[in-house]
């Protein structure tokens, strides 16, 4: 399986690359628009500030090729900020436009709990998804974020909770995304990546 891993210059991209390679994927790490335009399987990882991700996508002129690749059916997996970037906007960077592939706005988790939501949490499945194939219902995944997508969207496949419920796993046609870090979530995280690669093949 050939995977095009979008490296926009922030965060720990090598750990995602390594996690995919361990599963036998052939990974090309790139920030070139033409590579992304031609990709059949795209992974957008992300940590840090939402504005940095959006600004970097625009700086490298990656927004259009990315949206077009997804539009023509390329398999897509967003991780953490890579999930949040799919929406129209984020409270973290109100002046910037998200990719707008999904409707809605990413908002901050409530102040009533410690933020960032950092550590291992469980999921509640709301709709069958290939991404959670062979994953035990009580499995823990590693999260590290303060903003999250609303839980109500039709794309939602599983939610988690920290102060409020939020989307932890989404799947809409060829668009998949997870709020947790599968590359940091031990064996169950690897299983999620394996399921994505299988579905994308």
Partner 1 sequence: MSLARRIIPCLDTDGARVVKGVHFEGLRDAGDPVELAARYNAEGADELVVLDIAAARDNRPTFLETIRRVAEQLAIPLSAGGGIRSLEAARAVVRAGADKITVNTAAVERPELLSELSAEFGAQAVVLAIDAKREADSWQVRIRGGRQATPLNAREWAQRGVELGAGEILLTSVDRDGTQSGFDCELTAAISNGVSVPVIASGGAKVPAHFLEVFTRGVADAALAASIFHDQVQSIRALKEFLRERGVEVRLPC
**For this structure, is 183 an active site residue?**
yes
* Minimum separation from the CB atom of position 16 to partner 1 (A): 11
**For this structure, is 80 an active site residue?**
yes
* Minimum separation from the CB atom of position 191 to partner 1 (A): 9
Residues that bind partner 1 in the complex, under the rule CB under 8 A: 10-12, 14-15, 18-19, 47-49, 52, 111, 114-124, 136, 139-140, 142, 144-146, 159-162, 181, 183-190
> Which C-beta is closer to partner 1: that of 18 or that of 97?
18
> Which C-beta is closer to partner 1: that of 64 or that of 124?
124
Read off the tokens for 30.
């790139």
**For this structure, is 60 an active site residue?**
no
Q: By C-alpha distance, which of 116, 96, 109, 117 is closest to 51?
A: 96
Size (the chain), residues:
201
Q: By C-alpha distance, which of 46, 167, 31, 62 is closest to 105?
A: 167
Catalytic center residues: 80, 181, 183
């Amino acid at each position: 399986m050939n995977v095009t891993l979008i490296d926009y210059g922030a965060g720990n991209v090598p750990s995602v690359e390594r996690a995919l390679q361990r599963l036998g994927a052939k990974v090309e790490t790139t920030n070139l628009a033409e590579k992304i335009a031609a990709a059949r399987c795209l992974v957008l990882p992300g940590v840090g500030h939402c504005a940095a991700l959006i600004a970097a996508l625009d700086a490298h002129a990656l927004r259009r090729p990315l949206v077009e690749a997804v539009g023509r059916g390329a398999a897509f997996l967003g991780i953490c900020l890579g999930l949040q970037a799919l929406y129209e906007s984020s409270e973290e960077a109100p002046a910037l436009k998200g990719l707008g592939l999904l409707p809605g706005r990413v908002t901050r988790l409530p102040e009533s709990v410690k933020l960032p939501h950092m550590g291992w949490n469980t999921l509640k499945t709301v709709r069958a998804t290939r991404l959670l194939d062979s994953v035990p219902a009580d499995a823990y995944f590693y999260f590290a974020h303060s903003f999250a997508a609303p839980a109500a969207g039709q794309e939602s496949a599983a939610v988690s909770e920290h102060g409020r419920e939020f989307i932890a796993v989404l799947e809409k046609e060829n668009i998949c995304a997870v709020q947790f870090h599968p590359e940091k979530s031990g064996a169950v995280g690897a299983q999620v990546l394996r399921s994505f690669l299988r579905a994308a093949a």
